[in-house]
């Protein structure tokens, strides 16, 4: 016993027993290196399930991702689409009119074909068909009812037309109207508005379509350039504004330029925009699971818990999320 006490007294003061047989150093080590708590097994299993969902979604997102989505012009189109959809700021009140403007451009060929037939075939029975169309348009029917009544009139009038050329004209006329109705119900409304305001010259649509085609080769981020183009064709846009019944306070140069910019961007990026929306849909689901995983990992402090190796595994798809986070998380509110 004396030897043990003697040996203890020979040790440095910080390593001598404070109480019992444990020195200060041993006490500090026991505090610093105390056994950590274990993360509950059900939490680890939940982490595994959520991580599995991310592993499933990530390859889909990678397949949908494209370098074209990094184009500033495309990203501006995404932003403008939201402004129109939610009618925010200067885009407020333009949503319904841009839809008619779009149809006017996209369905121009149908309108021009209808115009050509009405001008070329003037027999009494054919003019009866044209008058019937106006009455049908005034009823503002849905597309199914419109097509049904149009076909009934077609079958009624065909036997009364004697020339094969005349019959062919009625058939093409009817099919073109049906195509216009099926393409977009707004096509029927636009046809009615043209006839309502007695603007039978659909070449207006051709010229505006040519302006859109011209813009496709220009920098669509240059809004001033688009305004100059509107200014140079103000009479045309005023005519179109009358047809689509644009409110007087929305007939400024800037309003037409905004609609023209959007329509040109839509034509240019429509295909990849659909792909981009699918990517956002996948990444929105991905972000749901990501936030759960992030919360689980952050909840357990490594100073207090034994962290499983899988909790430190890189999160699949995080690079895609970081790339589009501002778009995924941005909220738009109608004004």
DSSP string, 51-80: HHHHHHHHHHHHHH--GGGG-HHHHHHHHH
DSSP state of 225: H
Q: What is the pLDDT of residues 172-186, one digit of tens each?
A: 999 999 999 998 889
What is the share, in percent, of the chain residues with pLDDT greater than 90? 73
Q: What pLDDT score does 38 carry?
A: 86
Q: What is the pLDDT of residues 99-141, one digit of tens each?
A: 999 998 989 999 999 999 999 999 999 999 999 999 999 999 9
Q: What is the pLDDT of residues 144-172, one digit of tens each?
A: 999 999 999 999 999 999 899 999 999 99
Q: Across the chain, where does the E strand assignment appear?
A: 17-19, 22-23, 37-38, 305-306
Q: What is the pLDDT of residues 54-102, one digit of tens each?
A: 999 999 999 999 999 999 999 999 999 999 999 999 999 999 999 999 9
pLDDT above 60 (res 46) = yes
Question: What pTM was estimated for this model as a whole?
Answer: 0.79
Q: What pLDDT score does 97 carry?
A: 92
Q: Which helix (H) or strand (E) holds 260?
A: helix 253-299
**Are 110 and 183 a contacting pair, CB within 8 Å?**
yes
* Number of Cβ within a 10 Å radius of residue 270: 11
Q: What pLDDT score does 305 carry?
A: 87
What distance in Å separates the CA atoms of residue 67 and residue 20, rounded to the nearest whole number? 70
pLDDT above 70 (res 34) = no
Q: What pLDDT score does 37 carry?
A: 81
What distance in Å separates the CA atoms of residue 51 and residue 309, rounded to the nearest whole number? 13
DSSP state of 158: G
Rounded alpha-carbon distances, angstroms, from residue 113 to 56, 212, 271: 49, 20, 26
Q: Who's near 214: CB < 8 A, 6+ residues apart? A: 229
pLDDT above 60 (res 25) = no
**Packing angle, helices 185-196 and 95-106, rounded to 10:** 90
What distance in Å separates the CA atoms of residue 298 and residue 311, rounded to the nearest whole number? 10
What is the share, in percent, of the chain residues with pLDDT greater than 70? 88
């Amino acid at each position: 016993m004396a030897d043990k006490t003697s040996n203890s007294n020979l040790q440095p003061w910080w390593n001598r027993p404070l109480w019992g047989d444990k020195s200060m150093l041993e006490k500090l080590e026991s505090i610093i290196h105390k056994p950590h708590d274990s993360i509950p097994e059900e939490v680890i299993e939940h982490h595994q399930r959520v991580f599995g969902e991310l592993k499933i979604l990530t390859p889909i997102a990678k397949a949908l991702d494209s370098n074209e989505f990094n184009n500033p012009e495309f990203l501006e189109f995404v932003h403008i689409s939201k402004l129109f959809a939610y009618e925010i700021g200067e885009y407020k009140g333009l949503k319904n009119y841009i839809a008619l403007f779009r149809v006017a451009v996209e369905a121009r060929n149908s309108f021009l074909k209808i115009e050509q037939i009405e001008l070329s075939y003037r027999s009494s029975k054919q003019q009866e068909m044209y008058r019937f169309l106006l009455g049908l348009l005034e009823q503002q029917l849905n597309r199914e009812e419109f097509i049904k009544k149009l076909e009934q009139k077609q079958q009624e009038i065909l036997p009364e037309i004697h020339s094969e050329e005349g019959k062919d004209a009625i058939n093409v006329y009817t099919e073109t109207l049906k195509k216009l109705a099926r393409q977009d119900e707004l096509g029927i409304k636009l046809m009615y508005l043209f006839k309502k305001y007695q603007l039978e010259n659909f070449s207006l649509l051709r010229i505006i379509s040519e302006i859109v085609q011209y813009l496709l080769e220009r920098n669509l981020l240059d809004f001033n350039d688009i305004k100059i183009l509107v200014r140079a064709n103000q009479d045309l846009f005023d005519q179109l504004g009358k047809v689509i019944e644009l409110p007087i306070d929305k007939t400024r140069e800037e309003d037409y330029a905004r609609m023209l910019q959007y329509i040109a961007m839509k034509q240019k990026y429509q295909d990849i925009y659909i792909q981009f929306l699918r990517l956002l849909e996948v990444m929105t689901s991905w972000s749901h699971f990501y936030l759960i995983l992030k919360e689980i990992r952050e909840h357990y402090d490594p100073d207090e818990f034994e962290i499983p190796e899988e909790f430190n595994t890189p999160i699949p798809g995080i690079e895609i999320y970081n790339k589009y986070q501002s778009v995924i998380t941005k909220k738009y509110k109608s004004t």
